[in-house]
Amino acid sequence: MMGVRVRVEGVVQGVGFRPFVHGLATRLGLAGRVGNDAHGVFVELEGGRDQIGEFLVRLECDAPPLASIERVTVTSTPHVTRAGGRFRIVESDPSGTSRTLVSPDIATCADCLAELADPADRRYRYPFVNCVNCGPRLTIVRAMPYDRPLTTMAGFEMCGDCRAEFHDPADRRFHAQPICCPACGPTLSLMGVAGDPLTGAAEVLRAGGVLAVKGIGGYHLAVLASDESAAAELRRRKRRADKPFAVMVADLDEARRLCEVDGVDAIGAALLADRARPIVLLPRLPEAAVAGAVAPGERYLGLMLPYTPLHHLLLTAVGAPIVLTSGNGSDEPIAYDDRDALDRLGGIADAFLTHDRPIHLRADDSVVRPFRGRGMILRRSRGHAPRPFTLPYEAPRHILGCGAELKSTFCLGKGRHAFVSPHIGDLENYETLRSYVEGIEHFAALFGVRPEVVAYDPHPEYLSTKHALDLPDVEVTAVQHHHAHIASCLADNGEHGRVIGVAFDGLGYGLDGTLWGGEFLLADLVSFERAGHLAPVPMPGGSAAIRQPWRMAAAYLEGDGAALDVARRHERWWASVNSLMRGAPVTSSAGRLFDAVAALLGVRDTITYEGQAAIELERLADPAERAAYPAAVSDDLVVAGADLVRAAAADLVAGVEPAVISARFHNGVSEVVVRCCHVLRDATGLATVALSGGVFQNVLLLGRTVERLSGAGFRVLTHAGVPANDGGISLGQVAVAAARDRLRSYGDQSSAGFS
Ligand SMILES: [Zn+2]
Ligand SMILES: [Zn+2]
């Protein structure tokens, strides 16, 4: 027999930690007690050495889903309990509880699913069943502290049964703020239709209709995934040309009938079943029964599993996979307010499956892609936000990072925590901008942040920049776009540099006023120098060249190659490109280089969403091809991207397959990146490389580059928790602002730490 005291720190209050400890200790036959105090959770234990050992292992491995343990301290004591062999939960000292962090919204847990399916349970088939381990969180919180009256559940008074569970420390609904049941909670309805809403909704889908479904962070639009005309009609009504729709499947078996779930990375199933329930991009099976209009021409499908009880019930009622795409028209943010949804989706949906629990905060689905045995996040939103990142440095003052323009997010920094907002979208219309400004205020109130330092992107035209510069009584700090990318990769990995940073993206405002995007930086969190870049190329027609990749092909070939198909398709224009390029803005963007090759190969002349040409070029590539096009690198590390385009054009003329050309181009880019890293390592001694920017969401390019760099002895940092694209910029800005503020407040004394 022995006794120990255990202290657990982190996000451990309000997440079912005490009932979990109670159950674990009781199962192991341990005596003692557990309670909350100002530091987190304390446990006192008495029992056999083996049982205590197992307790300590399971405490961390089996912790409740919403808990996030930062530290466990164990001390031994001779006599701890006078519990008479029992284990109990003790009342908290109200003054001793710490501020509870709001957790992300979490998919329905196994216990709640069992109740949902049990005819004897009082929550049988109840679409809003939840407990302390699952259910809505961030999206229903109106204000802090996180208590029911300050959530959108305030209007639902608990019945006697729910109240009893809520107050029973041994119950898994102990202090579950959104607790409810058929007697006291929200009600499902199929708007304007009598009878069972789920049966009615399933009929709408089976008849080829478009169904709006109210979810956790907003409305979705659904059609049967196998129904070609319904999917095409949804595309037409949404005015969405090509961007793929996500598909929800009932379970992993159904996922395996549509996609290669257990492929090379072998983590497809784990990513799908993750409690954040993201959309997971997986290789589509040729025989998958999914309409062509769901993801036109795609080799990948975005799949997700049900994450609310309503989804589970709907999928069962329909008995087949459904398209589940954000409820919005093209370029608008997802609708979440009931009246607004009716207004905006009324012309798109044939019926509304809805309920009376309001959504307070909009949150789209998150998107991940398997990469080298783990998930690489492409869009971070529902299920992840607002779980904080830990900054490499403590921020002396509160910070706001305003993000960029496309795929925008904002981030609040406080102490060592950085809270990144859910994905907001492109800040180009009033609706999105309003959502951005309101979101900042809401987050600031939730996390008790009053920004004194505001970090922003120096691009003069970004609405986020204008927002930053309009804020009264704050200190502003400009963080160059690609420095922010590398900083976000550092923060994503808990590092502070100095590193070789490779930032490849669409476009970002450079220090010289031109548009950058193929950058080699030497960077830490405070500052950077531009050590190399792709050779700048004119963008004929300015921003038109972004929407029309064929213009970049002409620019890279300087009007040569009149016999190429792409030149023939734009004959008159092609001939005069050299004069059009005079005075055009120049860019070193890697994204535009990918665009040029995509247009050259006939993949895409014009795009309907950002990054489309590069995404389709990646999809085209033959992964078995290992040859690489060469590109010259000058002494001052300027890379001749045009060499790659010209080599591709020569192969095309020689009759080489476009799939092979695409692969050789990808390999060529990765080879020249590695060559530049070699040069920089020789010059500086730095051997860590951070890869960031939206171009590195290309798994073929990223994989080949990581392989080559690792093979050459580099340590490589890539993104995992925050997107490599502009969705990660706000975190990078906060990390930089925190490091600069720390330098400012501690002066020379600690500046050595940055060199
Ligand atoms: Zn649950
Ligand atoms: Zn109830």
What's the 108 CA to ligand 1 centre distance in angstroms? Answer: 5
Give the residue among 40, 46, 49 at the shortest CA–CA distance from 11: 40
What's the 89 CA to ligand 2 centre distance in angstroms? Answer: 24
Give the residue among 597, 679, 601 at the shortest CA–CA distance from 643: 597
Per-residue pLDDT tens over the stretch 471-515: 999 999 999 999 999 999 999 999 999 999 999 999 999 999 999
What's the 18 CA to ligand 1 centre distance in angstroms? Answer: 16
**Distance, CA of 603 to CA of 566 (rounded, Å):** 10
Q: Can you give 262-276 as a three-state secondary structure string?
A: CCCCCCHHHHHHCCC
Per-residue pLDDT tens over the stretch 567-613: 999 998 898 888 889 889 999 999 999 999 999 999 999 998 889 99
What's the 118 CA to ligand 1 centre distance in angstroms? Answer: 14
What's the 97 CA to ligand 1 centre distance in angstroms? Answer: 24
567-to-207, 552, 559, 677 alpha-carbon distances in Å? 46, 11, 8, 35
pLDDT interval class at 249 (50, 70, 90)? very high
Residues near ligand 1 ion, CB 5 Å cutoff: 109, 112, 131, 133-134
| pLDDT score recorded for residue 11 | 77
Q: Is the pLDDT of residue 731 over 80?
A: yes
What's the 170 CA to ligand 1 centre distance in angstroms? Answer: 15
| pLDDT score recorded for residue 94 | 54
Q: Is the pLDDT of residue 97 over 50?
A: no
Name the residue type at position 270.
Answer: A
pLDDT interval class at 79 (50, 70, 90)? low
What's the 327 CA to ligand 1 centre distance in angstroms? Answer: 26
Q: Which of 64-73, 76-85, 170-179, 285-294 has the lowest mean pLDDT?
A: 76-85
What's the 131 CA to ligand 1 centre distance in angstroms? Answer: 4
Q: Residue 15 in contact with residue 67, Cβ under 8 Å?
A: yes
Q: Give DSSP secondary structure letters for 575-596.
A: HTHHHHHTT--EE--HHHHHHH
What's the 182 CA to ligand 2 centre distance in angstroms? Answer: 6
Distance of CA 55 to the CA centre of its chain: 34
Q: Is the pLDDT of residue 750 over 70?
A: no
| pLDDT score recorded for residue 77 | 82
What's the 165 CA to ligand 2 centre distance in angstroms? Answer: 9
Instruction: Specify the length of the chain in residues.
Output: 755
What six digits make up the tokens of 683? 């010059």
Q: Is the pLDDT of residue 213 over 70?
A: yes
Which ligand is located closest to the Cα atom of residue 130? 1
What's the 138 CA to ligand 2 centre distance in angstroms? Answer: 22
Which ligand is located closest to the Cα atom of residue 65? 1
Q: Can you give 647-680 as a three-state secondary structure string?
A: HHHHHHHCCCCHHHHHHHHHHHHHHHHHHHHHHH
What's the 157 CA to ligand 2 centre distance in angstroms? Answer: 8
How many of the other CB atoms lie within 10 Å of CB of 65?
17
The structure tokens 């070029």 sit at 617
Which ligand is located closest to the Cα atom of residue 109? 1
**Distance, CA of 155 to CA of 161 (rounded, Å):** 17
Per-residue pLDDT tens over the stretch 352-367: 999 999 999 999 999 9
- Pick left, alpha or beta for residue 403 (phi over 0 → left; psi -120 to 50 → alpha; otherwise beta): left
| pLDDT score recorded for residue 495 | 96
Which ligand is located closest to the Cα atom of residue 106? 1
Q: Under DSSP, is residue 741 helix (H, G, I), strand (E, B) or coil?
A: helix
Percent of the chain whose predicted confidence (pLDDT) is above 70: 96
**Distance, CA of 730 to CA of 456 (rounded, Å):** 8
Helix (H) or strand (E) holding 44: strand 40-47
Which ligand is located closest to the Cα atom of residue 133? 1
**Distance, CA of 210 to CA of 348 (rounded, Å):** 7
| pLDDT score recorded for residue 82 | 61
What's the 276 CA to ligand 1 centre distance in angstroms? Answer: 14
The structure tokens 């491995």 sit at 61
Name the residue type at position 107.
Answer: A
Write 249-257 long-range contacts (CB < 8 A, 24+).
249/303, 249/304, 249/305, 249/315, 249/321, 250/305, 250/306, 250/312, 250/315, 250/316, 250/321, 251/305, 252/305, 254/321, 255/282, 255/303, 255/305, 257/285, 257/288, 257/289
Which ligand is located closest to the Cα atom of residue 122? 2
| pLDDT score recorded for residue 98 | 46
What's the 177 CA to ligand 2 centre distance in angstroms? Answer: 12
Per-residue pLDDT tens over the stretch 313-348: 999 999 999 999 999 877 788 889 999 999 999 999
Which ligand is located closest to the Cα atom of residue 165? 2
Q: Which burial class, exposed, middle or buried, applies to 115 when counting CB atoms under 10 A from its CB (0-12, 13-18, 19+)?
A: buried
Name the pTM for this structure: 0.91
What's the 135 CA to ligand 1 centre distance in angstroms? Answer: 7
